[in-house]
Structure 1
Amino acid sequence: MKHPVIEVSDVYRYYGEVLAVDGVSFSVRRGETLGLIGHNGAGKSTLFKMMLGLIPVSAGEIRINGEPVRGSGFRELRRTIGYLPENVVFYDNLTGLETLQFFAALKNCDKRDCLAVLEKVGLSHAATRRVDGYSKGMRQRLGFAQALLGKPRLLFLDEPTSGLDPEGIREFYRILHELNADGVTVVITSHILSEIQERVERLAVIKSGKLQALGTVQELREAVDLPLAIHLILRETAEAVRTALQGVALVKLEIAGQNVVIECHRTDKMDVLRRLGMLAEVDDIVVREPTLEDVFLGYARES
């Protein structure tokens, strides 16, 4: 079994008397994209900074490719890591290309790769324009470009799609998919939960510095036990629906003319669908699973 790329083991971080990260443990596999989600102040950015070695842990241990973040060998290892902070800041008097060349020098990367990276993120047309003329979305693309310098094997991306339009978001995740296929590991945070729910392998839910849940979207749905919704369109009367569902412990049954909304527990889903499938009055059935936002709010309400 391959060694995890990231191992976070019982990590704590105090700021004075404030406990920002409270005994968090998880690992990330090679080529995986892990999403970190949580309210503002939940501890996500602090975790990022500790995994990057920017701030020390108060207790516990973090290893990247088996190397302790606080170890002597991590400085060299950090060259294989790309990082996009939530609020990226550039020198406005430099062009996009000059900005990337500046970061390439800091990372000891080949400056000849800068144009290719700009093209990869869709900025080649603005390579010679000063950054003070860039839109927010263009600045975000430039930030992503600097994170990709040196062909990193591990990426930490904090709110990476902020300011991007829908086409830019889709292109961003296309690039991430290609990187994953090449074995690059990604840890990403986003407040736009609908955007990431189908684009990450697993999610870690952080609340008040603690790891509240870890798993795939479907695993989290099942663990939080939220009801799913079934929408029906009927040809005629809804009375047949009431009759068919007698004896099932529904969460909700709402009838408005020919439109019916049923909410039921996951364990009753197949029984409900079998009963509805026998009705000639049903024109259409749509099953709506709880969204990632529903799941997140479900965990957020837990004590």
Structure 2
Amino acid sequence: MNIPIVSLSDAGKSYNDLDVLKSVTMQLNQGEVMGLFGHNGAGKTTIMKLILGVISPSRGKVEVMGMAPDSKEAWHSRSKVGYLPENVSFYEQLTGLEVLSYFTKLKGFTNKKAKKQAIDLLEQVGITHAMKRQVKTYSKGMRQRLGLAQAFIGEPKLLLLDEPTVGLDPIATRDFYKTVDQLKSNGSSVILCSHVLPGVEQHIDRAMILSTGQLLAMGTLAELRQQAALPVAIKPSGLNGSVANDNKLNRFLTANCPDTLMVPEQEKLTVLSQLLNHEGLADLHVESANLEQVYQHFLSLTENSLQEPLLQVKGATS
């Protein structure tokens, strides 16, 4: 039986009377990429700190590679963990090569191997041209690349990335996701936090959506679409308005999208078959709900539930 790389069982964290994380249960398997999504203050960074062993859970249990990450026994497994915080910070007076060589030594590399690993990683993230410059001369994007290089040291078994593409240009972002895909194919597990949902969607296996410290939903994108019951958008072309006269199809038209049918997932094939019977059909564009739409759906459920008591109070006092 394979032991999960990360396991949270009813894990929660409180500071005095404030619950910042409320009984979250999740597992991360080997070679899996988990997207962790939520607004600022949703509990994403708290989960990462629990996994790193920087803080301990107030209740429940956290295990990383089979042991509690905040225990003395977990020290030897920390070299197998890579972490990129949301705001990277390095010694300003050191060069990029000196910074990375220092971190590779902390991960257990000897002096000679540490320098070679550092140079290889700097090349991988595209800043070898600046490796002998002091970090204080680096732009925000270059510092982010240096942070990524630090997180990738030793091809970690577990990689925690908090807003990793902040400050990166499109080419650097593309190269970053290539590296994540490569690490995954080599068996590494990744937890990735990002507010840039369109860029993340095709690189994750599952998603966790958090709000105000509680888990709203978790699963593959297909599973989350099913839970949310979001419609499929089908846009035909070449029919010249004949869909509006088709009683089997016109009920799926909306005022906001008069040329697009918004169809429940379970009726998609029936609608496509009906459209194919129409003469003049030139093309079809079918688009399921994307990650951003799924995220907004689950977040809106929470916002509505928070507003309901307020509406009741207002009604009682009117």
Give the TM-score, by structure 1 length.
0.93
**CA-to-aligned-CA distance 1:232-274 (integer Å, 9 cap, x gap):** 22253x1x31333437752626676xxx211121122111111
What are the Cα deviations for residues 169-205 of structure 1, in whole angstroms up to 9, with x where unaligned? 1100111111111111111100001011111011111
- What secondary structure, in the 3-state scheme, does the structure 2 residue paired with 1:302 have? helix
Is 2:167 the partner of 1:168?
no
- Gaps of at least 5 residues in structure 1 are none
Q: When you count strand as a share of all residues, which structure comes out higher?
A: 1
- Name the structure 1 match of 2:252: 250
Instruction: Give yes or no for the alignment of 1:297 onto 2:292.
Output: no
> In the alignment, residue 287 of structure 1 is paired with which amino acid?
V
Contact 2:253-2:260 within 8 A present in 1 as well:
no
Q: Does residue 135 of structure 2 align to residue 131 of structure 1?
A: yes
**Matched residue, 2:267:** 268
**1:120 matched to which residue of 2?**
124
The Cα offsets for residues 259-301 of structure 1, whole Å up to 9 and x where unpaired, read as x211121122111111111101322211121111110010001
Query: Is 2:12–2:24's contact at 8 Å kept on the other side of the alignment?
Result: yes
The within-5 A match list for 1:1-303 is 1-110=1-110, 111-112=114-115, 113-236=117-240, 238=241, 240-246=242-248, 249-250=251-252, 252=254, 260-303=259-302
Percent identical among aligned pairs is 37
CA offsets 1:49-71 (integer angstroms, 9 cap, x no match): 01100011101111111112233
Q: Deviations over 1:188-236 (max 9, x none)?
A: 1000010111110111111111111111111111110112211122253
Do the aligned residues in 2 keep the contact of 1:4 with 1:27 (CA within 8 Å)? yes
Hey, what's the Cα distance between the residues in 2 that align with 1:18 and 1:138?
A: 37
Equivalent position SS for 2:203: coil
Deviations 1:71-111 (A, max 9, x none): 32111211111100000011222111011122223333332
- Give the CA deviation at 1:134: 1.5
Mean alpha-carbon deviation: is it higher for 196-205 or for 98-107?
A: 98-107
Is the 8 Å Cα contact of residues 158 and 190 (structure 1) preserved in structure 2? yes
Which structure's residues are more often helix, by fraction?
2
Output the aligned Cα RMSD.
1.7
CA distance in 2, matches of 1:74, 1:100: 24
SS in 2 for 1:75: helix
In structure 2, give the amino acid aligned to 1:34. M
Whole-Å separation in 1 of the counterparts to 2:247 and 2:266: 15
155-164 vs 275-284, greater mean Cα deviation: 275-284
Counterpart Cα distance in 2 of 1:8 and 1:255: 43
Q: Is the 8 A contact 2:22 2:213 kept in 1?
A: yes
What is the letter of the counterpart of residue 166 of structure 1? P
Amino acid at match of 1:190: S
Return closer, same or farther for 1:162/1:243 CA change in 2, 3 Å cut-off. same
Alignment check: 8 A CA contact 1:229 1:261 kept: yes
* Secondary structure, counterpart of 2:91 in structure 1: coil
Q: Distance in 2 between matches of 1:272 and 1:253?
A: 19
Using the alignment, how far apart are the partners of 2:280 and 2:212 within structure 1?
49
- Structure 2 gaps of 5+ residues are 303-318
Q: Which stretch of the first structure deviates more once superposed, 226-235 or 87-96? A: 226-235
8 Å contact from structure 2 (residues 33, 204) kept in 1 = yes
